[in-house]
Amino acid sequence: MTKEKRYQHITKFTVAVDCIVFGFDGTRLKILLVKRGLEPEKGKWSLMGGFVNDNESAETAANRILKSLTGLEGIYLEQYQTFSSPDRDPVQRTISVAYFALIDINKYKESINTDFEAQWFNIKEFPNLIFDHGDMVHLAQKKLQYKAASHTILFELLPEKFTLPLLQSLFEDVFDTSFDKGNFSRKMLSTKLLIKQKEKDKSNSKKGAFYYKLDKKHYQENLHKILKLIPNPNQLL
């Protein structure tokens, strides 16, 4: 009988994955959390996480675990960091590969299951999380800010026609800041990324707010101008 080949005299550890899912519901940026299903910390709020099986990649495990805990599938998960502090898990040495995603909540509303009490929380008001999951979220927010400053991902979450107040609300949540209404409007319009429409949204005031559309023909050449809006852009990852 052939002896199974294994590396000798090495430290063994467990590999896990954790998924951070940000979502926009048409008004606010949110984060999806579940109740942890095993000890320790059973029943406390957690990211969607679990262990990588012997026969699967970290990416496959992330998609499997996300679906099993929330019902979500078919969304793009981007790997962004490995968390390997020796004491991050009190049970045994566990290295976690972290992924994040940004989705339109309304498109996946019917997909969310409640087996593990999956729930959306405002990004500025979510509860304390287990282990080092708070650190994972903080770093994922930094990654999201970087992508939002260099790609059109935020505009892709908006309806085809949107108002400047709605756009400002999304930017404030993503970049964890607040903008003066007048300054935001002036700087955003100076980017030449938007096309003003004739119609107004009068749902919040009699005066109303003009609708805008993303100028898809010229956004590539003007996208870098978004940096004008962002506080301390040189600190982005």
Active-site residues, by number, are 117
DSSP 224: G
Q: CB neighbours (10 Å) of residue 117?
A: 13
3-state secondary structure of 131: coil
Write down the residue that tokens 């979500």 correspond to: 72
- Would you say 143 and 136 are in contact if contact means Cβ atoms under 8 Å apart? no
Q: Are 69 and 62 in contact (CB under 8 A)?
A: no
Q: How many residues does the chain have?
A: 237
Measured between alpha carbons, how far is 184 from 19 in angstroms, rounded to an integer? Answer: 32
> From CA 222, how far away is CA 72, in angstroms rounded?
34
Give the C-alpha separation, 210 to 162, whole Å.
Answer: 8
The β-bridge relationship of strands 162-163 and 209-214 is antiparallel
List the alpha helices (DSSP H) in 71-150.
Answer: 133-150
